[in-house]
Structure 1
Amino acid sequence: MKLNLNIQPLSSWLNVTHQPLVISGPCSAETEEQLLATARLLKATGKVSVLRAGIWKPRTRPGEFEGIGSIGLEWLNKAKAETGLPIAVEVANAKHVKEALAAGVDILWIGARSTVNPFTVQEIADALEGHDVPVMIKNPINPDLSLWVGALERINRAGITKIAAIHRGFSSFEKTAFRNQPMWDLAISLKTLIPDLPILNDPSHICGSRELLPFIAQKALDLDMQGLMIEAHIDPSVAWTDAAQQVTPAALSEMIDGFVLRKAESKNPEFTDKLAVMREKIDQIDDQIFQKLGERMKIVEQIGEFKRDNDVTILQVSRWDEILQKRTAYGSVLKLEKDFTAKILELIHSESIRKQTAIMNATKAELG
């Protein structure tokens, strides 16, 4: 199922003179000197299309630096006048929207902490009524595709057609190398649902450390995301917020030079023909996989009936443990990652439990 939103192509509202599209600037506007100096260096790279900076900073706990406030809009306008770069800021309520629009900010974005709250998004949407300004919407903190889609719909219904999504990863209790889990599948699901929607990637907030940025940024480009938002600071070591994930403009320039830009499609007939043949093979194998899954579930139902008739519980932990160990070992022999195999088995097992539960709970009338 596709969702039809009234969205203008990115190229119609953003003049991208460099590939890939890069939106960059400090996490926070700290001082006028810091912001202007960073903006000058970013402009000098010749690789940045939009200057960003946090003016109002929604912090997790009170007492931390919560942004310089409205004065930062004046600094941004000075940077815009000097460099010619359009400017972008985050807005989290109607007051922010009003002030940013009055200051002539070119692009607004809604942060993850705001996207998670439909009341906040609606307040922003109401404040945007009657304005023709681009709005970028970051994914919510938690992995909820419906919340992300809902925010896009609310902004679109306010009459905003210059819309893009920003994939910045999702919060997780699990400790990994990343600050926020990429969960690429959710961004892919969003693109599948709204094919015309431009999606950018924010590797800074996914990584949380500058060392990982090139890896995540390259993967985003390989997944056909249309640009990157990367935080840059004239001296990240003294940044007031998120110092570890910011890079210098020089480091950003070097990183961009290292990106491999690939095409979404090829016009080479030989490539197209060979790809079609390989995809046909995949389709045939997929058909076989689903056929076998269907056969497996029929046996699962028979087992459920047998357990019901003999008053045996649905779950036998020892049997599940046996399946998990044997199949993951077999998967490893077939060069399948252990986590991948385990996820597939868990999905199949969950559906098996669901089917057998339905059989166990069926009434005598339903059984005939």
Structure 2
Amino acid sequence: MIEHLKNIWNKRPLIISGPCSAETEAQVLKTATDLAASNKIDVLRAGIWKPRTKPGLFEGIGTIGLTWLAQAKAITGLPTTVEVATAQHVEEALKHGVDILWIGARTTVNPFSVQEVADVLKGVDIPVLVKNPINPDLELWSGALERLQKVGLQDVGMIHRGFSSYGNTEYRNAPMWHLAIEMKMRYPELLMICDPSHICGNRVLLQDVAQKSIDLDFGGLMIESHIDPDNAWSDAKQQITPETLSKMIDNLIWRVKSEQDEATELSLLRERVDQVDDELLLLLSRRMKIADKIGSYKKDNNLTILQTERWNQILKRALDKSASLQLSKTFITKYFDAVHLESIQHQNSIMNDMGKKLNEL
């Protein structure tokens, strides 16, 4: 790797920005020049090939977009980065002078695809970032990193972009911070940056998520920026203008770590506990919302709240798993008793709602 790019790769924080997708030559060049003028970013990104959930959606402009990125690089001096998912993508990106590659979440879930990318990069000196897989499977994420390292790549890093979570409403992809922290613990020497755009799926939460990642000592940010976000061809809701990005970066509080304040292993472990607790509370809240629906069903069908047989099934199922989960049966019993009591209280409140209304008459 050339010295200039090495210095950028090692910069903290490393800020990557650009459009979700390269759409037109004018759009790429204008976005790039506006971002460069802000003097707030280090690397220009753009999606060239877009793996979309459903057919018929815009799946990227293709190789022609790489020539636009090369022009943007020549004009602004900004290094460029694109997502790759196949050997052909890698070859085209390298041919057009792309400086940094990243592997997307949909590719990380497939070891065959990751290995294909790794094999074509054998002997190539280029930094590669790996996004977490869509599903919360740290072994897949770790495996992707290790496949790249095994072919000799020296500069490998991670992008935390959140995980798919059924029923999640606040975020497009639930951050599950404790999983990212676990990966930082496993690979303390590797760069970890945050992708708030894909975690949020909207502009409203970008600042908060970016700040959270900074507070957790992430090494940088990847944020999508577009000259006309509302009319973007993909992921319009989560993109911001270069001007908005500049203001956002100015408003972030960048933490400075001194030797005295440097996080110890104990403090990192405590942070992981806090994040897991947050996830548990969210899951318990979701469980009680389901209990509310059960209460409504029982009320409509004149059923009793307490269903002893069903409760015994739940408790037995949990106790049967206790040994494999390294949890004592005493703890499991106390925990589920408390959850059951809260569930009964929720259902009781719904069942007796009519009585309250009658009393108010």
* TM-score in terms of structure 2 length: 0.73
Contact 2:12 2:219 in 1 (8 A): no
Q: CA deviation at 1:263?
A: 2.0
- Superposition pairs of residues 196-207 of structure 1, within 5 angstroms: 196-207=189-200
1:252 aligns with one of 245, 260, 266: 245
Quick one: structure 1 residues 71 and 12, their matched pair in 2 at CA, closer, same or farther if it must change by over 3 Å? closer
> What is the match of residue 165 of structure 1?
158
Could you say which residue in structure 1 is the equivalent of 2:179? 186
SS of structure 2 residue aligned to 1:185: helix
- Name 1:104's counterpart in structure 2: 97
Q: Distance in 2 between matches of 1:155 and 1:319?
A: 46
Counterparts of residues 68-147 of structure 1 (less than 5 Å): 68-147=61-140
Letter in 2 for 1:323: A
Gaps of 5+ in 1: 1-7, 283-311, 329-368
Instruction: Return the alpha-carbon distance in structure 1 between the equivalents of residues 191 and 83 of structure 2.
Output: 18
Change in 2 beyond 3 A, CA 1:320/1:152: closer
Distance 1:161 1:19, change over 3 A: closer
**3-state DSSP class of the match of 2:164?**
coil
d(CA) in 2 for partners of 1:17 and 1:193? 19
2:49–2:84 CA contact under 8 A, matched in 1: yes
What TM-score results when the alignment is normalised by the length of structure 1?
A: 0.71
Any conservation in 1 of the 2:168–2:174 contact (CA below 8 Å)?
no
Amino acid at match of 1:22: I
Match of 1:195 in 2: 188
Gaps of 5+ in 2: 271-311, 319-332, 344-361
Name the CA distance, whole Å, in 1 between partners of 2:99 and 2:5.
Answer: 14
Q: Give the total of aligned pairs.
A: 283
Q: Classify 1:155/1:121 alpha carbon distance in 2 versus 1 (closer, same or farther; 3 Å).
A: same
CA-to-aligned-CA distance 1:281-322 (integer Å, 9 cap, x gap) = x9xxxxxxxxxxxxxxxxxxxxxxxxxxxxx99937997654
1:208 matched to 2:201: yes
What is the deviation of 1:327?
Answer: 9.1
Residues 322-359 of structure 1: CA deviation (Å, up to 9, x unaligned): 4336799xxxxxxxxxxxxxxxxxxxxxxxxxxxxxxx
Given the superposition, is the C-alpha separation of residues 242 and 314 from structure 1 closer, same or farther in structure 2, using an over 3 Å criterion? closer
Structure 2 Cα separation of the partners of residues 129 and 323 of structure 1: 55
Q: Which amino acid aligns with 1:216?
A: V
Shift of 1:174: 1.9
In structure 2, give the amino acid aligned to 1:134.
P
**Residues 88-124 of structure 1, C-alpha deviation per residue, up to 9 Å, x if partnerless?**
0000100000111111100000000000000000000
Identity within the alignment, %: 57
Secondary structure, in 3 states, of the residue corresponding to 2:205? helix
Measured at CA, do residues 119 and 253 of structure 1 come closer, stay the same or move farther in structure 2, by a change above 3 Å? same
Residue 256 (structure 2) aligned to one of 255, 263, 283: 263
Q: Partner of 1:66 in structure 2? A: 59
Question: CA RMSD, aligned part only?
Answer: 2.8
Task: Give the conservation status (yes or no) of the 8 Å contact 2:73–2:79.
Answer: yes
Secondary structure of 2:130's partner? strand
* Residues 1:11 and 1:37: Cα distance change in structure 2 (over 3 Å): closer
Q: In the superposition, relative to structure 1, how do residues 156 and 321 fare at CA in structure 2: closer, same or farther (>3 Å)?
A: closer
